[in-house]
Amino acid sequence: MEQETLAAQTLEAIGTDALYDESVKRLLANKSILAVILKECVPEFKHCTTREIAEQYIEGEPQIGEVGIAPDETNRSGELIRGLNTEDAALTEGSIRYDIRFYASAPGEDGLIGLIINLEAQNRFNPGYPLLKRAIYYCSRMISAQYGTEFTKSEYGNIKKVYSIWICTNPPKDRRNTITQYSIREEQIVGEAKEEVRNYDLMSAVMICLGEETDRNYSGLLKFLEVLLSDEKTAAVKKTILQNEFNVPMTQTLETEVYQMCNLSQGAIEKGIQKGIQKGIQKGIQQGIGQGREEERIASVRNLMQNLHMTAEDAMKALNIPQEDRDRIKQALAN
Least confident of 20-24, 256-260, 316-320, 329-333: 256-260
Evaluate if residue 222 carries a pLDDT over 90.
yes
CA–CA separation, 155 and 100 (whole Å): 27
Task: Output the pLDDT for position 148.
Answer: 85
Q: Is the pTM of this model over 0.85?
A: no
The per-residue pLDDT for range 21-42, each reduced to its tens digit, is 888 888 899 999 999 999 999 9
Evaluate if residue 69 carries a pLDDT over 50.
no
CB neighbours (10 Å) of residue 209?
22
Query: Residue ranges of the domains in the chain?
Result: 15-185+197-232+243-249, 251-335
Evaluate if residue 84 carries a pLDDT over 70.
no
CA–CA separation, 151 and 180 (whole Å): 30
Residue 271: which pLDDT band, with cuts at 50, 70 and 90?
very low
Distance of CA 180 to the CA centre of its chain: 18
Q: List residues bridging with 318 in a β-sheet.
A: none
Q: Which of the two residues, 16 and 314, has the higher pLDDT score?
A: 314
Evaluate if residue 4 carries a pLDDT over 70.
no
For CA atoms 47, 52, 53, 56, the dihedral sign is negative
Task: Output the pLDDT for position 37.
Answer: 96
Using DSSP's 3-state secondary structure scheme, residue 162 falls into: strand
Evaluate if residue 77 carries a pLDDT over 50.
no
| H helices present in the chain, as ranges | 2-14, 16-28, 31-41, 50-52, 131-144, 220-229, 235-246, 252-307, 312-318, 323-334
Q: Length of the chain, please?
A: 335
Evaluate if residue 285 carries a pLDDT over 80.
no
Least confident of 37-46, 106-115, 142-151, 282-291: 282-291
The helix or strand, by DSSP H or E, that contains position 208, with its residue range, turns out to be strand 203-209
Evaluate if residue 270 carries a pLDDT over 50.
no
Task: Output the pLDDT for position 21.
Answer: 80
Instruction: Give whole-number Cα distances, 172 to 79, 212, 226, in Å.
Output: 40, 12, 15
Evaluate if residue 75 carries a pLDDT over 80.
no
Evaluate if residue 215 carries a pLDDT over 50.
yes
User: How large is the average pLDDT for residues 251-264?
Assistant: 75
Q: Report the chain's mean pLDDT, rounded to a whole number.
A: 79
Q: What are all long-range contacts of 230-235, with beta carbons under 8 Å and residues at least 24 apart?
A: 231/265, 231/266, 231/268, 231/269, 234/262, 235/259, 235/262
